[in-house]
C-alpha cells in the first residue's frame, strides 16, 4: 500500500504545473570595468602611434603630444581612453627601463633635471601646408628685397616669422577656451606662447642677418669693389634680407 500511495503522489506531482525558474537581468559591466576593457584594448595598439610621436623623443615631447591629442579628442571618450592608456604605457616603460638600467636616451635619463636653456628652440615639424605658405611669403619678401633693397625688409621678414611662430605655439599649446575654468598653468599659456614666438622670430632675424653679413665683412677686409649687377642695386643688403627670410622660414617650419 505504501508503494501505491507513493506512486499516486508522484503522478500528482508530475501533473502539477512547473514553476518558472527565476530570471536575472543581463550583467551590465560598470564604468570602471568598461574603462579597464577599453584601456586593455588600447594597450594592444602601439602607444607611440596613438600619440603620433617617434620612439626616441624625450619626455617633454611626450607630454606635449599627450596634451595635444587630449585636446583633439576632447569630445571622443573612446579616443581619450586610448590616449590616456598610451601615455601611461610609455611612461611606465621608460620608468622600468631606468630602474633596470637599460640603454635609454639622455633626454629621458635626465628628464627630471632642469634644462640649462629652457627657451631654446626645439624640433617640431609644421604641416606641409604651413611650410609651403610661409615659404611663399618669405620668398616674396626676398624677391621684393632684391628689387628694392632696404634693411627695413628684414624687419618685415621677422614679423612674418613672429606671427607664424605664435600661431604654431597656439596650435601646439592651445590656450584655454574658458579662462574661468582654466588652471594656473593654462591661464598664462597665451602670453607665454606670444613671448616665445616673438623671441624665436627675433632670434632667427638677427642670426640670419648676421650670418649673411659675412660677405660684406670679407669685401671690406679685402678692400674689394663689387661689380654692379643690373636689376640688383645693392647685393649686400639683399643678402641680409635673404638671410633673415631663410632663417625665419627654417625656424617656423621645423622648430617651436
| DSSP structure string for 75-91 | T-HHHHHHHHHHHHHHH
Closest to 244 in 3D by CA, of 208, 202, 210: 208
Whole-angstrom distance, CA of residue 38 vs CA of residue 20: 38
Q: What is the pLDDT along the chain (256 residues), one digit of tens a residue?
A: 444 444 444 444 444 444 544 454 444 444 444 444 444 444 457 888 888 888 878 778 888 888 888 888 888 889 889 999 999 998 888 777 766 655 555 655 565 565 666 778 888 888 899 999 999 999 999 999 888 888 899 999 999 999 999 999 998 888 888 777 777 777 788 889 999 999 999 999 999 999 999 888 887 787 777 666 665 567 888 889 999 999 999 999 999 8
Q: 208: helix, coil or strand? A: helix
| DSSP structure string for 54-79 | -TT--HHHHHHHHHHHHHHTTT-HHH
Element spanning 107, H or E: helix 106-109
Q: Tell me how crowded residue 129 is: count the other CB atoms within 10 A of its CB.
A: 8
Tell me what percent of the chain is helix, strand and coil, each rounded to the nearest 5. 70, 0, 30
Amino acid at each position: 500500500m505504501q508503494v501505491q500511495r507513493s506512486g499516486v503522489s508522484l503522478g500528482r506531482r508530475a501533473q502539477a504545473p512547473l514553476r518558472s525558474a527565476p530570471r536575472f537581468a543581463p550583467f551590465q559591466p560598470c564604468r570602471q570595468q568598461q574603462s579597464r576593457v577599453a584601456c586593455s584594448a588600447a594597450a594592444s595598439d602601439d602607444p607611440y602611434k596613438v600619440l603620433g610621436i617617434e620612439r626616441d623623443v624625450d619626455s617633454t615631447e611626450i607630454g606635449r603630444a599627450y596634451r595635444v591629442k587630449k585636446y583633439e579628442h576632447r569630445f571622443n571618450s573612446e579616443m581619450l581612453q586610448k590616449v590616456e592608456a598610451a601615455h601611461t604605457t610609455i611612461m611606465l616603460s621608460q620608468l622600468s627601463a631606468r630602474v633596470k638600467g637599460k640603454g635609454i636616451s639622455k633626454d629621458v635619463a635626465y628628464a627630471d633635471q632642469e634644462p640649462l636653456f629652457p627657451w631654446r628652440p626645439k624640433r617640431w615639424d609644421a604641416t606641409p601646408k604651413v611650410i609651403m605658405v610661409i615659404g611663399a611669403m618669405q620668398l616674396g619678401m626676398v624677391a621684393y628685397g632684391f628689387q628694392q633693397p632696404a634693411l627695413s625688409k628684414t624687419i618685415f621678414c621677422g614679423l612674418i616669422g613672429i606671427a607664424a611662430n605664435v600661431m604654431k605655439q597656439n596650435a601646439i599649446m592651445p590656450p584655454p577656451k574658458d579662462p574661468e575654468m582654466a588652471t594656473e598653468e593654462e591661464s598664462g599659456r597665451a602670453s607665454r606662447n606670444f613671448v616665445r614666438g616673438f623671441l624665436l622670430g627675433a632670434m632667427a632675424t638677427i642670426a640670419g642677418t648676421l650670418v649673411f653679413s659675412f660677405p660684406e665683412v670679407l669685401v671690406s677686409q679685402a678692400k674689394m669693389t663689387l661689380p654692379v649687377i643690373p636689376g640688383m642695386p645693392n647685393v649686400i643688403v639683399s643678402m641680409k634680407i635673404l638671410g633673415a627670410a631663410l632663417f625665419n622660414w627654417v625656424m617656423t617650419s621645423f622648430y617651436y
